[in-house]
C-alpha cells in the first residue's frame, strides 16, 4: 500500500494535535532504543545498574535477526545464555556474542539452568507447539520467562503455563513487542480515553506471502494452526486493545487458494468480533499476500496505522493528521520493559493471561469455521 498516495495532503498544521499527545504526554520511558541512527549510535548504555541475563531458546530466524541484535541495545538485560539443538550454531553464537561455555545448553541439558545464576530470563523462541513444554520447564528451573506468540496451541496449554508461573512465583510474559511501541501504546490510550468519542468499527488485517513449503509453520503438529496462529494473532490482539474490550462472539470463514501447500493449516481467515459496547471488528489473516493495517472509526473521528505489525517504522494518522511519535527498536523496548518489571517487582503488561485471551478467541474462530455458526467467546 502506498500511504503517501492514499493519504496525500497531510499538512504540518494538522500535526500539532498529535504532537502534543506525543511521547512526553504519554509518559514514555527514556527512549534508549530509538530506531535508526540515534539508537544505533548508543549501544550498550546504562552501566552501573544491574542487567538481568537472558537465555534465548531456539536460535532460528527471529532470535538471530531480531532478538540477539536487540539484546546488544538493551539497558536492563543482556544476552548471557543459549539453548540450541545444533552444535554448529552453539559454536558460532558463543564466539559472536562472547557467551561462556557453561551457559550453553541443548534441549536435554536445559533443566540444568536451575543451577545457573547468569540467567534470570529464559526467552522461548521455538515452534508454537513447543512453547508450553519449554516455558513450563524454565519456570520449574526458577527462571522468569518470555514466551513468543502465539503463547501456545490451546487454551488448556496456556492455562498450564499460567499455573506453572504462579506455582514457581516467577513472571511469565508473552512476546507481544507492539505493546512496547509508542504507536500501539497510543491506540491503547485512546481506547481508554476515547478522545474521538465511542469506538464503533475496527478493521485489522495482517498477512504476508508464505514462501518455503517445507517449514514448520505449515505443519499442524508444530504450528498448531496456520496464518491465524502466526500473524492473524496481531490483528486479533490489536482489535482487542483498540477497543479495550473482550469480544463476546465471533463469526469466521476460511479460504484457500493453494490447498496443497496449505493442506494442514489455514491460509486465509476472515473474522468478525462483536464487543460488549456494540463496537465490531472485521479482520483478516493471510499467508496469500502482504497486508498490514488497522483502522478505528469513532463517533467523532478516526485513526489508522499501516504498516503497523512489522518491525517498523510504524506509520499512523488520524483525521487530524499524522501520528508524530518516536520509532523504537521493538524487541529492545519489549525486553527492557520485562527486565524492569522483574527488577522493580511490578507485573508485566503482557502476562500469560493476555496470551490466553487471544488463543481463546482463536479457538472460537476455528470452531466458527468448522460449524459455520456464530460462536460465543466465553472465559
Ligand atoms: P525459525 O524456524 O526461524 O526457528 C525455529 C527454531 O526452533 C530453529 O532454531 C529450530 O532449529 C528450532 N527447533 C527446535 N525444534 C524444532 C523442530 N522440531 N522443528 C523445527 N524447528 C525446531 O522460526 P522463527 O521465525 O524464529 O519463530 C520461532 C517463534 O518465534 C515462533 O513461535 C514465532 O511465532 C515467533 N516469532 C515471533 C516474531 C515476533 O515478531 N514476535 C517474529 C518471528 C517469529
pLDDT tens sequence across 34-72:
665 444 433 344 445 789 999 999 999 999 999 999 999
- Identify the residue with better confidence: 344 or 35: 344
Q: Report which protein residue has its CA nearest ligand 1's atom 9.
A: 60
Query: pLDDT band for position 23 (50/70/90)?
Result: very low
CB of residue 126 inside a 6 A radius of ligand 1? yes
Cell numbers 550454531 correspond to what residue?
89
Q: 131: pLDDT confidence band, cut at 50, 70 and 90?
A: very high
Q: Tell me which residue has cell 534465548.
A: 56
Domains of the chain: 12-25+182-325+352-376 (3.30.360.10), 52-176 (3.40.50.720)
Categorize the per-residue pLDDT at 237 as very low, low, confident or very high, splitting at 50, 70 and 90. Answer: very high
Kindly list the catalytic residues.
Answer: 149, 234
pLDDT at 43: 38
Residue 189 CB partners (closer than 8 Å, separation 6+): 26
Task: Kindly report the length of the chain.
Answer: 379
Q: Which of 126, 134, 135, 181 to mutate to test the pocket of ligand 1 (most atoms within 8 A of CB)?
A: 126
Q: Is the pLDDT of residue 304 over 70?
A: yes
Q: What is the mean pLDDT of residues 297-320?
A: 97
What value does the mean pLDDT take over residues 110-128? 98
How far apart are the CA of 19 and the centre of ligand 1, in A?
38
Q: Which of 19-23, 25-29, 116-120, 271-275 has the lowest mean pLDDT?
A: 19-23
**What one-character DSSP code corresponds to residue 122?**
E
Summarize the confidence of residues 189-212 as an average pLDDT. Answer: 97
CA of 320 to the centre of ligand 1 (A): 40
Collapsed DSSP state (helix, strand, coil) of residue 301: strand
Q: Which residues, at least 6 apart from 120, have a Cβ–Cβ distance to it below 8 Å?
A: 52, 53, 54, 77, 143, 144, 342
Mean pLDDT of the chain, nearest integer: 90
Which residue in this structure is represented by grid cell 468448522? Answer: 370
Alpha carbons 340 and 320: distance in angstroms, whole number? 35
**Of 191 and 379, more confident:** 191
The predicted model gives 321-327 an average pLDDT of 96
Ligand 1 pocket residue status of 128, Cβ below 6 Å:
yes
The CA distances from residue 22 to 8, 324, 333, 366, in Å, are 22, 7, 17, 39
Side-by-side strand order, sheet with 199-207: 321-322, 316-318, 301-305, 291-298, 199-207, 280-286, 268-274, 249-255, 375-376
| Average of per-residue pLDDT across 222-236 | 98
Which whole number is the average pLDDT over 299-308? Answer: 98
**94 Cα: distance to centroid of ligand 1 (angstroms):** 19
- Over residues 178-194, mean pLDDT: 98
In this prediction, residues 121-140 reach a mean pLDDT of: 98
Q: What percent of the chain has pLDDT over 90?
A: 86
Dump pLDDT digits (tens) for 71-117: 999 999 999 999 999 999 999 999 999 999 999 999 999 999 999 99
Q: What is the mean pLDDT of the segment spanning 187-205?
A: 98
Q: What average pLDDT score do residues 150-155 get?
A: 98
Contact assessment for residue 348 and residue 337, using Cβ atoms and an 8 Å cutoff: yes
Higher pLDDT, 20 or 8: 20
CB 306 within 8 A of CB 152: no
Query: What confidence score (pLDDT) does residue 83 get?
Result: 98
**Any atom of ligand 1 within 6 Å of the Cβ of 60:** yes
Amino acid at each position: 500500500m502506498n500511504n503517501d498516495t492514499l493519504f496525500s495532503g497531510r499538512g504540518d498544521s494538522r500535526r500539532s494535535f498529535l504532537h502534543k499527545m506525543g511521547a512526553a504526554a504519554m509518559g514514555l520511558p527514556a527512549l534508549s532504543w530509538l530506531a535508526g541512527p540515534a539508537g544505533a549510535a548508543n549501544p550498550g548504555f546504562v552501566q552501573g545498574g544491574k542487567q538481568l541475563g537472558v537465555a534465548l531458546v531456539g536460535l532460528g530466524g527471529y532470535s538471530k535477526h531480531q532478538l540477539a541484535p536487540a539484546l546488544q541495545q538493551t539497558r536492563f538485560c543482556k544476552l548471557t545464555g543459549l539453548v540450541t539443538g545444533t552444535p554448529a550454531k552453539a559454536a558460532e553464537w558463543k564466539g559472536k556474542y562472547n557467551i561462556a561455555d557453561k551457559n550453553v545448553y541443548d534441549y536435554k541439558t536445559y533443566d540444568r539452568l536451575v543451577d545457573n545464576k547468569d540467567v534470570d530470563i529464559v526467552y522461548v523462541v521455538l515452534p508454537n507447539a513447543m512453547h508450553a513444554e519449554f516455558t513450563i520447564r524454565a519456570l520449574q528451573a526458577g527462571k522468569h520467562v518470555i514466551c513468543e506468540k502465539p503463547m501456545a496451541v490451546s487454551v488448556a496449554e496456556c492455562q498450564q503455563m499460567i499455573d506453572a508461573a504462579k506455582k514457581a512465583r516467577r513472571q511469565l510474559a508473552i512476546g507481544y513487542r507492539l505493546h512496547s511501541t509508542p504507536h500501539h501504546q497510543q491506540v491503547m490510550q485512546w481506547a481508554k480515553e476515547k478522545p474521538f468519542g465511542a469506538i464503533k468499527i475496527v478493521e485489522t488485517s495482517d498477512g504476508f506471502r508464505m514462501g518455503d513449503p517445507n517449514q514448520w509453520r505449515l505443519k499442524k503438529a508444530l504450528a498448531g494452526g496456520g496464518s491465524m496462529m502466526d500473524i492473524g494473532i496481531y490483528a486479533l490482539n490489536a482489535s482487542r486493545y483498540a477497543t479495550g474490550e473482550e469480544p463476546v462472539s465471533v463469526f469466521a470463514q476460511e479460504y484457500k487458494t493453494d490447498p496443497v501447500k496449505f493442506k494442514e493449516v489455514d491460509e486465509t481467515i476472515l473474522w468478525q468480533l462483536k464487543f460488549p459496547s456494540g463496537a465490531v471488528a472485521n479482520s483478516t489473516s493471510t499467508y496469500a499476500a502482504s497486508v498490514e493495517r488497522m483502522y478505528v472509526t469513532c463517533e467523532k473521528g478516526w485513526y489508522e496505522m499501516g504498516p503497523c505489525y512489522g518491525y517498523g517504522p510504524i506509520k499512523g494518522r488520524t483525521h487530524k493528521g499524522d501520528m508524530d511519535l518516536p520509532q523504537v527498536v521493538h524487541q529492545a523496548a519489549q525486553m527492557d520493559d520485562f527486565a524492569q518489571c522483574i527488577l522493580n517487582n511490578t507485573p508485566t503488561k503482557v502476562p500469560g493471561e493476555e496470551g490466553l485471551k487471544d488463543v481463546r478467541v482463536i479457538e472460537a474462530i476455528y470452531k466458527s469455521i468448522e460449524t459455520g455458526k456464530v460462536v460465543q467467546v466465553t472465559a
